[in-house]
Amino acid sequence: MTLLAFLHPALVGFAALAVVPLVIHLLNRRRYRTVPWAAMDFLLAAYKKKRKRLELENLLLLLLRCAIPVVLALVFARPYFGADSLLANLAEPRREVVVVVDDSYSMSRHVGATTQFQAALEQCRRLAGSLDFERGDRVSLVTLSREPQLLVVSGGPADLERRLAALQRPTYEPADLGRTLDLLLDDLLKQIPAAPEIWLISDFQRRTFDESARAGAPAAAAPAAPAAAAPRDGAPAAGEGTATTLGKLQRLSQQSRLHLVNLSDGTLPPENLAVTDLRASDPLALVGQSMRFTATVARSGRMPSGAGRFRIGDKEFQKTFTFDAEKKATAEIYYTCAQPGDVGVEFRLDEDELADDDARFMRIPVKQGLPILVVDGKPGGTDDRLGGDAWNVVLVLDPRFGESDPSEDYRRWFEPTVVPWYELTQARPEFSKYDAVVFVNVPEIDPQKVLPELQTFVETGGGALFFLGDKVLPEKYNEHLFRGDGSGLLAMRLADKPAGTPWSPQTTTLNSPDNYFRLEIADELHPAVRTFNDDRRRGFLRSPVFAYWPFAPEADAALPRDTRVVLRFENNQAPALVDHRVGRGRTLWSAVSGAADDWSLFSRTPSAFFPLVWDMLNFLAVRDPGEHDLTVGAAIAKSVLLPPATAAMTTPDGRARPLGDLPRAAVRGEYRLPVFPETRVPGIYSLDVTYGGDDAPLRELYAVNVDARESELKFLDQQQATSVFDRVAIASYGREISIENGSKEPERQGEIWKRLALALLALVVLEMVLAWRFGRYTS
Amino acid sequence: MQDSRRYLDPKVVDRLERLEVKARLIVEGFLQGAHESPYRGVSVEFAEHREYVPGDDLRHLDWKVYGRSDKYFIKQYQEETNLRCLIALDTSGSMRFPEGFDTTRYQYGTLLAAALSLLLLRQRDAAGLALFDTSVHHFVEPQSRPAHLSSIVKTLETGARAAETRTSLLPVLNDLAERTHRRSLIVLISDFFAPVADTLKGLARLRSRKHDVLLLQLLTPEELTFEFARNTQYKFVGLENSGELRVDPRAMKGEYLEALANFRKELRRGCLKERVDFESIDTSVSLDKPLTAILSRRARRATRR
């Protein structure tokens, strides 16, 4: 309990103004008028008679004048006393109440006729009804969510009711107890008198209050660790243990009286289905190509099966599903997109106790094909486009490349265009017309005519794949494409010369694995090697490599930022395939030649080369992966390559909202549209951008989903809550607000500024009266 | 005709340069005033005739006697030969108060002394002057010649000296007693800021020589009211090396006035006891009051004889 503290401690410093009257008094002693006087004897006699009384009067007036600024400063500093203070009896007895209402989306669960959120608001009103605002009781309102808010700070009944009436429903976001505690400790408690009552009204979802349920570790086992930046999805960062939130709760309970209101305690177990995932078989679809969409459903309760419906574009498809032993079920559908463009996909369940998790959304881009530019570093044959080093790659992308009359049924996934490398410098290369660019054994990238365009292309989301072969000039690559800060297209410098020995019938033998290099997966999760995650295919990677172009990392041997090693050589662990992020795009660097040459047999092994190239280019061709799938509350940011004329975002309720001031100038080749932060509701958001002239407008979809973890409807009962809050001092625990606790005469704690103000008034009046009485004022 | 009564205001008359002119204007104003002129009311009794000699003032020829006797005789009045008045004016440092203002106490005293001298000489009384501070430093023997005014005026104009020492009246009064052989009316003009006991002792000495004594205590408005408008401290510096004091006058007013009143009361009481007339004069008021007081005493003295 606080013995004495101040609401505005900085204002206490103004009490130092008490020296002003003293200074004035001392200055006045040096300021006087000299008057020659004849009747001096009488004056001296009078002074002798009155001297002591005069000194006493002056002292009294000085003390009063010094006391006035001190009391005034205290009035504005608003001191308050705790109940233990000796001066507590001077304080105005009143209650300072803080209500923390859980407004995460689990609170929209129906229990009986109302939702948990409505029950929480009712508890708020009940608590407010027990307060005596005439006496000076005050209430603050805080929301417990991922973005907690101070809605009312030490307000009256009108403030509270206005805010409660505006809360129509909880947010679609999960709860974040840590952030809410930070808001209370670092903000609210500094604005209101000490030791308030804090009423925490929640459904006490286990994952909100028990961090062991979030992190999967036993409670209190993790040591206190420095707070790390949390990932965007709100999961605790590595190293942030129970101690952090628990420590905050302990601090809070020391500075206040903490009451817990568990709305879930005693209620029936939930019966709820939640769509926790929705994904497609490929990151993008081809017109006419069949895609598989899979929805995952989790269960709280005992339903053995369920039903839902896919909505793809404007078509709906009903599906049923059955739960396995893990309480998970999947629903699948195969769908062929007939038109290019973004398609919104939704899977929705029938409404149940908690409707907010009954749907999930995704966006799939649909294309006619993926135009790929293949730059041949060693063209060959009568047609420079065919037969060179790039031919191997081209055939992977389009096996019927160059055929004049393919059948009607033939659909190209990739649409390669082959150019000899030296033709790039003849005209300004238009990389933006392609989804990815492949450089096969290209000696160098022209630094004046090609590299600037290529750099912009990658930074604005494009992908480039480099196969390094015998034509490569490493010094040129190192000089023009490598930058020490990682912003260059080349992740790591190239060595001066290749490693290994090209195949030769005279010297190369395959009788021992030590005579050649073999590949292995370094990053299991990388999309470029997903085909080889299947153990049945993994062995194909071991196709012999006789020579390769090694990377030469910097002396400190740490990988550059935004760089991943996808494949490495099993023999010496040297990187074989490197993924490097540049801006919003990526480059892939293959130390293994992509040509069908004597550097490796790998490129001639269809079962290995084909799926690897396919997966790499699929990976590179998908622009802005993950930026179209967002959680509620995340902002939508988009850049375009042409100056926009108009831009609008259509929200799931059908309202189109202009984006505001559009950019007039490009920054690093892109026009950055205003950020759209209003993703408070899950669903499909549609961005429409038009340009001047004949340029086709842009339409892109964004899927905004709730955080599925909030659907884990496991709640703490009293025993579990007691265990979780073991080291936290709790004033009371119950299923509802206990009016009995509130009806007692509250502890005498609070402010005394009103009494101080009266004392100040009395001091001023007394000073005036005494000054007049002592004759210090002129008549 | 110009109203000469305005010259009774010391602030008005003090602007004039010559003291003699001032005195004449004061007297004219006094005589012109609405109040009873003690001059007219004084009974100037015929005493005797004497034979006319050339040079006598023809206004005093008794024409009735001439009609009866064909001889010229001049009327002689009783007062011409009876009243001697000595005006003793304090010139000590305290009389310079208030310095820098229109009329100091000393200037008021000189105006009063000059006017009084003229009045007396016009009535053929003998008027004399004594200037004193710690002692009598200038003495003009009383005479009744009209031309004696210039001597008195000249002494008033040049006689003041820069005395810093404290006034002590007993030696002065004793000195006056020694110098005044013939019975006289002695008018003492001062603030009398001195030990009362000594003053009374001196007065008793004068009374023992059968002199009539009149005390005119001159006090300034500042001393009488002790009002200070500015809200600040004042440093009071005594004019006769009597010390200094820094104080807020508003805090001391009551006690100071009480001390002054007690002093005046004691002095008045003592004068009453010694049968000495006492008048307290505010130097901001017109001069007719002190003049009236003096001439009233003169008239009473004349009637007693």
> Per-residue pLDDT tens for B98-147?
876 567 888 889 888 988 888 888 877 889 999 998 889 899 999 888 88
> Per-residue pLDDT tens for A94-115?
788 999 999 999 999 998 889 9
Average pLDDT over residues A87-91: 63
Contacts of A465 (CB under 8 A, 6+ apart): A436, A437, A438, A439, A587, A588, A590, A616, A617, A620
Residue A573 confidence (pLDDT): 87
CA B51 to chain CA mean position, Å: 36
Q: Specify the higher pLDDT residue, A681 or A627.
A: A681
* Of B180, B39, B56, the residue nearest B120 (C-alpha): B39
- The per-residue DSSP string of A129-175 comes to HT--TTTT-EEEEEEESSS--EEEEEE-HHHHHHHHHH--S--SS--
- Name the residue among B191, B233, B256 with its Cβ closest to that of A38: B191
Residue A218 confidence (pLDDT): 40
Q: In the predicted model, is pLDDT for residue B240 greater than 90?
A: no
Chain B residue with minimal CA distance to A33?
A: B234
Number of CB pairs, chain A paired with chain B, less than 8 A apart: 111
Residue B37 confidence (pLDDT): 43
Inter-residue contact A737 to A199 (CB < 8 Å): yes
CA distance A3 to chain B (A): 44
Q: Specify the higher pLDDT residue, A63 or A737.
A: A63
Residue B61 confidence (pLDDT): 82
Q: What is the pLDDT confidence band of residue A230, given thresholds at 50, 70 and 90?
A: very low
- Which chain A residues are Cβ-neighbours of B240 within 8 angstroms? 38, 40
The maximal CA–CA distance of chain B, rounded, in angstroms, is 81
SS3 A734: strand
| Mutual angle of helices B148-158 and B105-122, in 10-degree steps | 170
Chain-chain contact of B251 with A57 (C-beta, under 8 angstroms)? yes
CA distance B119 to B127: 9
- Which chain B residues are Cβ-neighbours of A775 within 8 angstroms? 248, 250-251, 253-254
Across-strand partners of A101?
A143, A201
Q: In the predicted model, is pLDDT for residue A389 greater than 50?
A: yes
Q: Is the peptide bond before A544 cis (omega within 30 degrees of 0)?
A: no
Structure tokens of A593?
């030649």
Residue A748 confidence (pLDDT): 43
> Per-residue pLDDT tens for A130-141?
888 877 788 999
Q: What is the pLDDT confidence band of residue A222, given thresholds at 50, 70 and 90?
A: very low
Average pLDDT over residues B15-34: 67
* Of A100, A108, A120, the residue nearest A170 (C-alpha): A108
SS3 A248: helix
Q: Specify the higher pLDDT residue, B299 or A293.
A: A293
The rounded mean pLDDT for chain A is 84
Structure tokens of B226?
């002790």
Average pLDDT over residues A501-512: 73
CA distance A25 to chain B (A): 11
- Name the residue among B233, B240, B243 with its Cβ closest to that of A44: B243
Within 10 Å of residue A129's Cβ, how many Cβ atoms?
11
In SS3 terms, A463-485 reads as EEEEECCCCCCHHHHHHHHECCC
Q: In the predicted model, is pLDDT for residue A426 greater than 50?
A: yes
Dihedral sign computed on CA atoms, order A763, A766, A770, A772: positive
Chain-chain contact of B251 with A35 (C-beta, under 8 angstroms)? no
Structure tokens of A64?
């009063």
CA distance B10 to B287: 7
Element (H, E) at A538: helix A535-538
CA distance B264 to chain A (A): 11
Inter-residue contact B86 to B173 (CB < 8 Å): no
Lowest mean pLDDT segment, chosen from A532-536, A556-560, B282-286: A556-560
Residue B125 confidence (pLDDT): 83
The rounded mean pLDDT for chain B is 80
Residue B36 confidence (pLDDT): 40
Place of tokens 């037969």: A387
Q: Does A778 touch chain B if contact means CB atoms closer than 8 Å?
A: yes
Residue A311 confidence (pLDDT): 95
> Per-residue pLDDT tens for A173-215?
999 999 999 999 999 988 886 678 999 999 999 888 876 666 5
Residue A386 confidence (pLDDT): 63
- Integer distance in angstroms from the first to the last C-alpha of chain A? 53
In sequence order, what E strands does A290-446 have? 290-300, 305-312, 315-322, 328-336, 341-349, 359-367, 370-376, 414-420, 436-440
% of chain A at pLDDT higher than 70? 87
Q: What is the pLDDT confidence band of residue A407, given thresholds at 50, 70 and 90?
A: low
CA distance B58 to A194: 112
Inter-residue contact A242 to A219 (CB < 8 Å): yes
Q: Which amino acid is at B242?
A: S
Q: What is the pLDDT confidence band of residue A282, given thresholds at 50, 70 and 90?
A: confident
Please, what is the Cα angle at A131 between A126 and A136, to 5 degrees? 155
Residue A750 confidence (pLDDT): 64
> Per-residue pLDDT tens for B31-50?
665 444 444 433 455 556 77
In sequence order, what E strands does A603-737 have? 629-631, 639-640, 644-650, 656-658, 671-672, 683-691, 698-705, 732-734
Residue B38 confidence (pLDDT): 43
- Which chain A residues are Cβ-neighbours of B197 within 8 angstroms? none
Across-strand partners of A465?
A438, A588
Chain A residue with minimal CA distance to B231?
A: A778
Q: What is the pLDDT confidence band of residue A238, given thresholds at 50, 70 and 90?
A: very low
- The per-residue DSSP string of A398-429 comes to -TTTT-SS--TT---SEEEEEEEGGGGGTS--
Residue B6 confidence (pLDDT): 63
Residue A600 confidence (pLDDT): 86
User: Among A418-432, A537-551, B53-67, B262-276, which range has the highest average pLDDT?
Assistant: B262-276
| Mutual angle of helices B148-158 and B19-32, in 10-degree steps | 120
Chain-chain contact of B258 with A46 (C-beta, under 8 angstroms)? yes
Residue A208 confidence (pLDDT): 87
CA distance A741 to A519: 71
Chain A residue with minimal CA distance to B193?
A: A39
Q: What is the DSSP letter of A506?
A: T
Q: What is the pLDDT confidence band of residue A91, given thresholds at 50, 70 and 90?
A: low
Q: In the predicted model, is pLDDT for residue B3 greater than 60?
A: no
How far, CA to CA in Å, does B75 sit from each of A696, B146, B301, B305? 146, 18, 22, 19
Residue A263 confidence (pLDDT): 93
CA distance A199 to A140: 10
Q: What is the pLDDT confidence band of residue B93, given thresholds at 50, 70 and 90?
A: confident
Residue A242 confidence (pLDDT): 45
Q: In the predicted model, is pLDDT for residue B261 greater than 90?
A: yes
Q: Specify the higher pLDDT residue, A627 or A417.
A: A417
Dihedral sign computed on CA atoms, order A167, A171, A174, A179: negative
Within 10 Å of residue A107's Cβ, how many Cβ atoms?
30
Residue B80 confidence (pLDDT): 44
Q: Does A325 touch chain B if contact means CB atoms closer than 8 Å?
A: no
Residue A779 confidence (pLDDT): 38
Residue B118 confidence (pLDDT): 85
Residue A357 confidence (pLDDT): 94
Q: What is the pLDDT confidence band of residue A446, given thresholds at 50, 70 and 90?
A: very high
Residue A527 confidence (pLDDT): 85
Average pLDDT over residues A292-304: 91
Residue A18 confidence (pLDDT): 92
CA distance A50 to chain B (A): 8
Q: What is the pLDDT confidence band of residue A604, given thresholds at 50, 70 and 90?
A: confident
Average pLDDT over residues B81-99: 84
Tell me the CB-side half-sphere exposure of residue A631, using CA atoms within 13 A.
19
> Per-residue pLDDT tens for B169-210?
899 999 999 998 888 889 999 999 999 999 999 999 999 988
Inter-residue contact A632 to A172 (CB < 8 Å): yes
φ and ψ at A449, to 5 degrees? -105, -25
Average pLDDT over residues B73-94: 76
Average pLDDT over residues A630-647: 92
> Per-residue pLDDT tens for A322-378?
998 888 899 999 999 888 999 999 999 998 889 999 999 999 999 888 899 999 998
Residue B100 confidence (pLDDT): 66
Residue A217 confidence (pLDDT): 40
Buried b (16+ CB within 10 A) or exposed e, B119-158: bbbebbbbbbbbbbbbebebbbebbbeeebbebbbebbee
Residue A676 confidence (pLDDT): 95
% of chain A at pLDDT higher than 90? 42
- Long-range contacts formed by A634-637: CB under 8 A, 24+ apart: A634/A232, A634/A679, A634/A704, A635/A675, A635/A676, A635/A677, A635/A679, A636/A675, A636/A676, A636/A677, A636/A679, A636/A685, A636/A687, A636/A702, A637/A672, A637/A673, A637/A675, A637/A676
* Of B1, B2, B5, B9, the residue nearest B28 (C-alpha): B5
Across-strand partners of B186?
B86, B213
Residue B168 confidence (pLDDT): 74
